[in-house]
Chain A
């Protein structure tokens, strides 16, 4: 049996306390790299470990400061510190989500960051491009779409079922069968940790997020939009991504083969070339390199 030598990762973790619409959050984030900030949002009901391999990809971190935060109520970011949050049902809205991300970027003093998110992070990337094109150099919506109904389900928190397993195994088919077992099971494990936030996140994903009549208002020339969608994603399919991109001025769409809804987490080696293509396109479109 071989052994792995001890190694300390260059990725570091930090907490930052931010104010979002009068509510105080202590937010945890991981970061590594120098250069252009690249802010990464995990998927609904998950946390920033989904970006674990990107954070250690030296080809990217040599030119980009990769920052992967935990949204409040996820991972190591607690619920609000100054409200009685346990007396309310958690239902994420587009307005609050956008305000949270811009407050986080302001707190870190990020200059013109690129924003990348997957699933409900992909959808909020579109919201950011619509509402704050001046605040972001570009956005990379991964597995995003103008509208993604159907996943705001009571099963995620049914008291007669094991919510951790329902959430984790309920998203199993969102991954491609070709993705490595160890990475699919790591993703499954993250989902077993997030059942209390998953349904509330999906209120944004499947209910409050609806840009079907707003895509024409997104200026993809001021804020480039490069959309990436895996062909095994049954929620936001390649057809959904392509339809969305076609209605955004200047947007580009790439279908990723043999990968699903959690590309950065289920199979990073497969995802990386698509991500690097997107970063190259953003550099070309913004005249950086």
Chain B
């Protein structure tokens, strides 16, 4: 079970990911890039073989990525709680019932769905990234 540390949430997210037993057991082919749009800030996450290769706050315009996950700051606050409330508890739930939007190449999202789902649950430990 991962625990919170005194580091900033970005670095903590990276460390939790790279030390996560499930992701390291099943992430050999988990390689993709995506944007988390949390309203106040965006975050580029580039993953290579299960490890976070790049994690950038507010990336430059024209930065390329495979897909984006966008929602209001309020939805992300719920999503990032240790026990998220109903309908904020995952990208499917929040897309069906809140204001989350999945955009871009969703085939890449689906190809990596198992590990991506686990990776995003690390936000329950870090809280919102910024």
Contact = CB atoms under 8 A, between A and B. Distances in A.
A178 B86 CA distance: 11
Interface stretch (A11-19, A21-29, A35-43, A168-176): A168-176
Contact of A234 (B83, B96, B113, B124): B96
A176 B87 CA distance: 10
- A interface residue count range (under 10 / 10 to 19 / 20 to 34 / 35 or more): 20 to 34
Interface string B3-17: 000000000000000
A108 interface: no
A150 interface: yes
Interface residues of B, number: 19
Contacts of B92: 170, 172-174, 234
Interface string A136-162: 000000000000001000010010111
Contacts of B97: 234, 237
B56 interface: no
A165 interface: yes
Contacts of B86: 176, 231-232, 234
Given A231-B86, A234-B97, A237-B97, A173 B91 contact: yes
A234 B86 CA distance: 8
A232 B87 CA distance: 7
Given A173-B117, A231-B86, A232-B93, 12 more contacts: A155-B106, A160-B111, A165-B113, A166-B110, A169-B113, A169-B114, A173-B93, A174-B92, A232-B87, A234-B86, A234-B96, A234-B97
Interface string B112-125: 01100100000010
A180 to B, nearest CB: 13
Contact of B90 (A161, A172, A178): A172
Contacts of A166: 110, 113
Contacts of B114: 162, 165, 168-169
B107 A158 contact: yes
User: Interface residues of A: mostly helix, strand, loop or mixed?
Assistant: loop
Contact of A170 (B84, B87, B113, B124): B113
A110 to B, nearest CB: 36
Given A172-B117, A178-B83, A234 B110 contact: no
B89 A150 contact: no
A232 B89 contact: yes
Interface string B62-89: 0000000000000000000001101101
10 contacts: A155-B110, A162-B111, A172-B92, A177-B83, A177-B84, A177-B89, A232-B93, A234-B87, A234-B92, A235-B96
Contacts of B89: 173, 176-177, 232
Contacts of A177: 83-84, 89, 124
